[in-house]
Structure 1
């Protein structure tokens, strides 16, 4: 069996996230790509994704891998996929990897970008790819609040899953916040994220930027482990999976 790695970008607007679901009516990125791969070689293909992006979340460089007995070359697989996939999913690169490569287990860190638009009106053309804030955000306050999130902590307060049995300890390596009069961009890199974590972090930082939460109170939210103290879950449309590092 050969092991292939895919680098994928997609507009997640009309999908129920990356991972296939039990609901037969759901439409996921994994479903779409597996379907094309399975038809390509007339064999059942299972695609393993690095990050389980949620419904409506986009990706600049999702990583996935699959095994197959195909005789096709990597560039031929790439061309085949891009010919038959919907136009809101594109395969940027296909490479053959060692048998031991696993897109999820081998990942060392994940980087997400959240885009926030500001101004007098919401752009018609950018509305699917950024969250619109009617009020101006104070970036300097957001940067102060973000400092308390850096490092290894228990991020239970930033989890929507009250029944989560796995450890909620994660390590955030960096949070970069850029802003001007028309937009704010928040980039977060961590060793791992669970569903909605990035969006709750962003929602909390936006509350800081709006003056509803003091920057130093972010430390108290972490210690509390109480989801009710953190900010709301930011809308999915502004979130992009930027990079997976190995």
Structure 2
């Protein structure tokens, strides 16, 4: 069996996320579209493994996927055919054969989500599907103070919408507020893994801090369950932008 690794980018606007838990992947999910195309290409039942199970409406510019196949289709041909038959809002950037033990999920060291915010008075219509519009300047210092308190290992149960009896302890490796251009702000979060809606709930809380709805001191209260998190930020502004493995970090601009 050959082990194939793919690097994907996709516009998640019209999809129900990477996959729907507990259901066979329909065409309304990213994995459903990819699996269906690969099965037709190879004549096999294909099982996909991914770096991050992005949620409905969330984008990815650097999703890593792996699957095994007995097909002898050359790797460049796999990439070419996938890009030919997949919808235009899903693209295979790279394809390569990797060692048998590589697993896109189990070998992942960290994943990075970026939440993009436009702070101009009028939203740029050409970026409206990929940014959240806040038509006024945000208090970056307050957002940075709040974000710094999230870094480290915490029980993030209150910053997740998932219902589970399992441990919700996660390590947030970094949380940065950056401004790459005028009237644009980004919340960049890196963790070994995230809970359900955790990036959006963090972004929504930091946005409330930035607009003065909450103070930076709300973070310890949220982590200790004395206060609820803010509402999750809309999914359109969120994008999976990095997947990091031993010896390499795959990152989009």
TM-score (ref. length: structure 2) = 0.92
Alignment correspondent of 1:77 = 78
Question: Separation in 1 of the partners of 2:25 and 2:116?
Answer: 32
Alignment correspondent of 2:186 = 185
* Aligned-partner SS, 1:12: coil
Question: Separation in 2 of the partners of 1:231 and 1:39?
Answer: 44
Alignment correspondent of 2:215 = 214
Question: Separation in 1 of the partners of 2:72 and 2:26?
Answer: 33
Residues 25 and 189 of structure 1: CA distance in aligned 2, closer, same or farther (over 3 Å): closer
Unaligned runs of 5+ in 1: none
Alignment correspondent of 2:41 = 40
Contact 2:27/2:33 (<8 A) preserved: no
Alignment correspondent of 1:89 = 90
* Aligned-partner SS, 2:13: helix
Alignment of 1:145-156 (within 5 A): 145-156=146-157
Alignment correspondent of 1:159 = 160
Question: Separation in 1 of the partners of 2:209 and 2:20?
Answer: 35
Unaligned runs of 5+ in 2: 246-253
Give per-residue Cα distances to partners, 1:68-117, cap 9 Å, x unaligned.
11112211111111111111000011111111111111111110100011
Aligned alpha-carbon RMSD (Å): 1.6
Alignment correspondent of 2:6 = 6
Alignment correspondent of 1:62 = 63
Shift of the alpha carbon at 1:185?
0.6
Contact 1:59/1:242 (<8 A) preserved: yes
Question: Separation in 2 of the partners of 1:207 and 1:116?
Answer: 13
Number of residue-to-residue matches in the alignment: 243
Contact 2:79/2:95 (<8 A) preserved: yes
Alignment correspondent of 1:245 = 244
Residues 25 and 65 of structure 1: CA distance in aligned 2, closer, same or farther (over 3 Å): closer
Contact 1:145/1:205 (<8 A) preserved: yes
Give per-residue Cα distances to partners, 1:7-64, cap 9 Å, x unaligned.
0000000000001453786600001111111111112212111211000000011011
Give per-residue Cα distances to partners, 1:160-179, cap 9 Å, x unaligned.
12x31221101111111113
Shift of the alpha carbon at 1:181?
4.9
Question: Separation in 1 of the partners of 2:219 and 2:44?
Answer: 50
Contact 1:174/1:189 (<8 A) preserved: yes
